Structure 1
Amino acid sequence: MTTARPASSRRSRTRANGDGTVYQRKDSRWEAAGYVLAPGNTRKRIRVYGTTRKEALAKLTEKLANSNRGLPAPSAQGGLAAYLTYWLQNVAVHQLRENTHTRYTAVARLYLIPGLGKKKLAKLTAKDVRTWLNRLRTTCQCCTRGLDTARDQPRCCTVGKCCSKRLSPLTLAYVHSVLKSALEHAVREEEIPRNVARNVRTGTPRPRRFEPLTAEEARQFLAVARGHRLHALFELALHTGLRKGELLGLRWEDLDLAGGTASIRRTLQRTNSSGLTTLPTKTQSSERRIALATECLHSLEQHHERQRQEGEASGTGWKASGYVFTRPDGSPIEGATLTRHFNTLLRRARLRRIRFHDLRHSAATLLLEQGVELVVIKELLGHAHIGVTASVYAHVRLRLQRDAIDLLGNALRNPTAGREDGDEPPHWAAPVR
C-alpha cells in the first residue's frame, strides 16, 4: 500500500493561475509552459526547456516577466521582417548607442528587409543568406534601391548605362554583422535553434586605407595652425591621438595642467533625439588617463587665457559650458564645424585632403616609427584590445620590421663594420620586436 503524499508537499508544487506549468519529460529534461503576449495583442503558449526544474522555471519566469512589461514574444513562424522590427524596437534600442541604433535601423530598412524580410524566421537557411549576400555584392545599388528613377536627369540603368555602384566589402561585412546580431538574439530567446548567418563567411575585408601625416607634414600643419584659436586642439590631437568627440567633450575639470595629465571621461556627439550632447566613451577602455606633452600644456594654458578674455568680452552673452574647446560665445563646438576649420588649415598648409580622424592615425604612426611599444600606444589610443592596435597599424610594423632586418643583414654581411678590433658590438637603434 502506497503512502499518500502530504498535502503540504502537493501545495508546494502547485503554481498560481497564470504562472504556467513545469514538469519533467520522458527524456529526463524539464519543460515549462505558459501563455505570453504575442504580436497583434494576442496571447500564445510557449515552451522552454532545461536540464533541471530550476533552470526551466527561470526561463519561463523571464518570458512571463517580459510579457507583463508589454513586450510581445516574437514568433518563429513569422517573417524575418517582423522579427527585425521587434528586435530593433524592443532589444537593440536598449543595448546600443543611439547613433549605432540609427545605423542598424538603416541597414535593416535598406538591405535586410527588402532582401530577406519575406523569409520565415524558422526556415531561414545559410544558403538563403549566402545567395542574398552574393546578390548584394554584384547588384548596382542605384537600380536596386530605386535611386535612379528618383533623379531629375535619368542615368545609369534607366538610360541603359549601368554605373555599377556596388557595396564596398566593408559595408557588406557591416550588413552581415547586423543580421548576425539579430539572429543571435533569436537563438538566446530560443526562437530558432542556431544562427545560420554565422555559417556564412564573407571574408575579411581590407581595412580602410588612411594616409597619415609624415613628421614633416605634421610640423607644417602645426605651423599654419599656430595662429588659429583652436591651435591647442589640433596640437593635442596630433600629440595624443584623441578622437574628435573626445577632444570636443573635454572639460577643464578633466585637465590637470600642474600634473600634466588629462582624464578622458566622455565624448561630445550629435544625436537625433538630444542634439549635441555628451555620451559615455566609445568603450570602457576608452575611459582613460593620459600624459600630456610640454607643448600641449603651454598651448592649453594660452588657450585658457584666451577663453577667459573671450568671456569678459562677451559679458552676459557668454555661455559657460565648462568645455575646453568652445565657440567664441562659450557654447560647445559641432563636429562638422571642427571639420571645416581643419580642412581650411589643410588648404593653407598646402597639404593633401585627409580626414580629421587621420590625425589620430598620424599620432599612432609617428609613435610607432619612434620605436614606442605597441602596448603603450594601445593605452594612449584607448583600444579595447592590443590586437586592434596591431591590426590597424600592421603596415607600419611591417616597415619597421624591414628596417630591423636590413640592420641585421648588414651585421651578418660585415660584422666588423663600424668598430675596431676588440670593441663591443654596437647596440642597434631599431631592435626587432
Structure 2
Amino acid sequence: MATIESYETDSGKRYMVRYRMPSGKQTKKRGFRRKRDAEDFANTVEVSKLSGEYVMPSLGRIKVDELAPKWLERKQSDVAPSNYRTLESAWRTHVQPKWGAKAVADIDLAAVEEWIADMCRPALDSNDPEKVVKKASGATTVIRAYGVLAGILDDAVKSRRLRANPARGVENLPRKTSKRRVYLTAEDVARLVGEAKQHRVLVLTLAYTGIRWGEAVALRVRDVQFLRRRLSVADNAVQLGVDHAVGQTKSRKERSVPVPQFVLDELAVQCKGRDHEDLVFGDGTDYLPRPKSSGGWFAGAVKRAKVQRITPHDLRHTCASLAISAGVNVLALARMLGHADPSVTLRVYADLFDTDLDAVAEALNTKCAQFVPKPTGSNVATA
C-alpha cells in the first residue's frame, strides 16, 4: 500500500507519496501542497494497479516532438502520398509549434479545445485590433491538425505512456460545410467537349465514365478494354508540385468501369499508334498535369462553352447526374464510381435522388389507383 510522508521546504510543508509499481520496484512522487491531494493520488495509484491501467509517471514526460516522427513514418506507408503531404504540413504548421515541446502528460482537454478555438478565429494585430494578421483556419485545416495531435497521443496510450488520450472528447471541432455541386447537362458537356480542342477525349471520358482526374491521367492503353467496353481502373496519379506519385485508387481496389460506345470510339482514335504501356492522355510517357484553376486550358474551355464554372472533378458529379437521369440503379452507379458502399453514393448524391420520390408516387398512382373503391355514403370523410 502507498504511504504518505510530510517534509519541510523553504515554501512550507509538502507531502510525498511512496508506493510500489506493478514490477515491485519502489518509487515516490513529491510536491503535494495538501495531504488530501497526496491521498487522492495514492488511491488513484492503487486502483490503477488493481485494474491493470497503471502508467509510470516518468514515461509521460516524453515530448510530442519525440513521438511524432514514428507516427508520421507509419502514416507515410499507410496513406496516399497526397494525403501524407497534408498530414506532414499540418504537423509542421499547426501542431509542432504549439505542442512539440510539451510532455504528453502535461496536455489536457481544456488546452486542446483552446488551441482549436485559436485556430478557428483570426489573429489580430495587438496595436491595431482592426488589422487581421492571420486569417482563421478553415474547418478542414483545423480538423486535420487536431487529427494529427490526437493520432500521436493515441500512440502514447498504446505504448503505455498515458492512461487515456487527453485530446479525445473535444466539443468544439468545426463542421465542414458541403460544397455546392455543379451538374452539367448533356448539352453543356457537348459544348465543353467542342471547346476542349486536343483534350476533348479526356473531357468525354471524365464526363461519361465518372473516373477521377488522377485515375484518368494514369490510364494506359492496356487499360482500355475495347471488346468489353470497359476501363480497368487500378492506378491513381497524384500531382505533387511538378511531379506525380502513382499509387492505388482511393478505394484501394481495381474496378471495371463501363464506357459508352461513342466515348470508346474516340478513345480508339486517341490510342491509335501507342504501345500497350503508353499513357492514354498526354504525350504517352509523361503524366498530364492538372490544368490551372485560372488561365488553364480547362478554364478556357469552360468560358468559351458558356457553361457554369466547374472544375475537372465536377465532371465526375455530372456523370453521376447523367447516369441517374438515364435510370442507372444505385448499386451499379456505386460500382462505377468506386464507392465501397452504395450508401455512400446515396449520401453524396442525395439531391439527385429527390425526383425518385416523385416517381414512386406516380408509379403507385398508375398501378394501384384503379383498385381502390370510391368512397360512398358513410365512407365519405367529413371535415
Report the TM-score when normalising by structure 2.
0.71
Distance 1:323 1:229 in 2: 15
Residues 161-240 of structure 1: pairs in structure 2 closer than 5 A: 161-163=130-132, 165-201=135-171, 202=173, 204-225=175-196, 228-240=197-209
- How much does 1:380 deviate? 0.7
Q: Look up the match of 1:427.
A: none
Distance 1:348 1:333 in 2: 22
What SS does structure 2 have at the residue aligned with 1:262? Answer: strand
Q: Look up the match of 1:295.
A: 262
* Structure 1 residues 135 and 251: CA distance shift in structure 2, 3 A: same
* Structure 1 residues 85 and 32: CA distance shift in structure 2, 3 A: farther
Instruction: Output the aligned Cα RMSD.
Output: 3.7
Residues 397-416 of structure 1: pairs in structure 2 closer than 5 A: 397=353, 399-401=354-356, 403-404=358-359, 407=362, 415=369
Residues 260-409 of structure 1: pairs in structure 2 closer than 5 A: 260-271=229-240, 275-285=243-253, 287-305=254-272, 308=273, 322-327=278-283, 331-336=286-291, 340-397=296-353, 399-401=354-356, 403-404=358-359, 407=362
8 Å CA contact retained: 2:64, 2:104: yes
User: Which structure is richer in relative contact order (CA contacts within 8 A, separation 6 or more)?
Assistant: 2
Distance 1:208 1:197 in 2: 28
| Percent of aligned pairs sharing the same letter | 22
Structure 1 counterpart of 2:79, from 96, 115, 122:
96
Deviations 1:67-89 (A, max 9, x none): xxxxxxx953123233224422x
* Structure 1 residues 104 and 134: CA distance shift in structure 2, 3 A: same
2:286 partner amino acid: S
Ranges of 4+ aligned residues in structure 1 off by more than 6 Å: 408-412
Structure 2 segments unaligned to the other structure (5+ residues): 1-19, 26-57, 375-383
8 Å CA contact retained: 1:187, 1:194: yes
Distance 1:244 1:236 in 2: 10
Residues 58-73 of structure 1: pairs in structure 2 closer than 5 A: none
- How much does 1:137 deviate? 1.4
What SS does structure 2 have at the residue aligned with 1:250? Answer: coil
* Structure 1 residues 392 and 256: CA distance shift in structure 2, 3 A: same
Deviations 1:255-277 (A, max 9, x none): 111221111111222346x9334
8 Å CA contact retained: 1:183, 1:195: yes
Structure 1 segments unaligned to the other structure (5+ residues): 1-25, 34-73, 144-155, 312-318, 422-433
What SS does structure 1 have at the residue aligned with 2:252? Answer: coil
What SS does structure 1 have at the residue aligned with 2:168? Answer: helix
Deviations 1:110-149 (A, max 9, x none): 2112333343212322222222112211234xx5xxxxxx
1:242 matched to 2:225? The reply is no
What SS does structure 2 have at the residue aligned with 1:331? Answer: coil
Aligned positions, number:
320
* Structure 1 residues 321 and 162: CA distance shift in structure 2, 3 A: farther
8 Å CA contact retained: 1:267, 1:279: yes
What SS does structure 1 have at the residue aligned with 2:246? Answer: strand
- How much does 1:299 deviate? 0.8
What SS does structure 1 have at the residue aligned with 2:257? Answer: strand
1:323 partner amino acid: L
1:236 partner amino acid: T
* Structure 1 residues 368 and 171: CA distance shift in structure 2, 3 A: farther
Report the TM-score when normalising by structure 1.
0.64
